[in-house]
Amino acid sequence: MSSAARIQEICAAHSARKGPLLPILHDLQAEFGCIDEEAEGLVAKALNLSRAEVHGVVSFYHDFRPAPDARPEVQICRAEACKARGVEAIVPDAERAAGKRVRLSTVYCLGLCSVGPNARIGDAVYSRLDAERIQQLVEGA
């Protein structure tokens, strides 16, 4: 099945939903690892939107990428609660451990504000991080 056919299939699977754009984009990101211009155009056509409208949503949310990136990702919460608990002091340690092998992403709230600083790798969330623990997590990602 071509990627265009798969994109159309995903769009069709959500066509009966109210507000299908975000579920479609999440499925595309999961399936292809990115939402490129071709996908934006096909989604726009399927939902009777302009490509600019779809691109606006894709570019607004950090979870959507325009090109695939095979590197493992470590998301670090840098919202106010994690900042108050010292996340900015451990970010340089994470960056050193990551090098170019691991993609570090900033997120704003992982929902564990009382036990920050927090990070997420895949579906696992890690809390009460310090410099040593964030280095271990990044190196193990």
76 strand-pairing partners: 106, 119
- What predicted TM-score, i.e. pTM, was given to this entire model? 0.73
Whether 41 and 19 share a structural domain: yes
Whether 78 and 134 share a structural domain: yes
Domain that holds residue 125: 73-140
Whether 77 and 21 share a structural domain: no
Q: What is the Cα–Cα distance from 113 to 127, expressed in whole angstroms? A: 9
The whole-number pLDDT of residue 62 equals 83
Whether 43 and 22 share a structural domain: yes
- Give the pLDDT of the chain (141 residues) as one tens digit per residue: 789 999 999 999 998 999 999 999 999 999 999 999 999 999 999 999 999 999 999 999 988 999 998 999 999 999 999 999 999 999 999 999 999 999 999 999 999 999 999 999 999 999 999 999 999 999 999
The whole-number pLDDT of residue 1 equals 77
Q: What is the Cα–Cα distance from 38 to 114, expressed in whole angstroms? A: 42
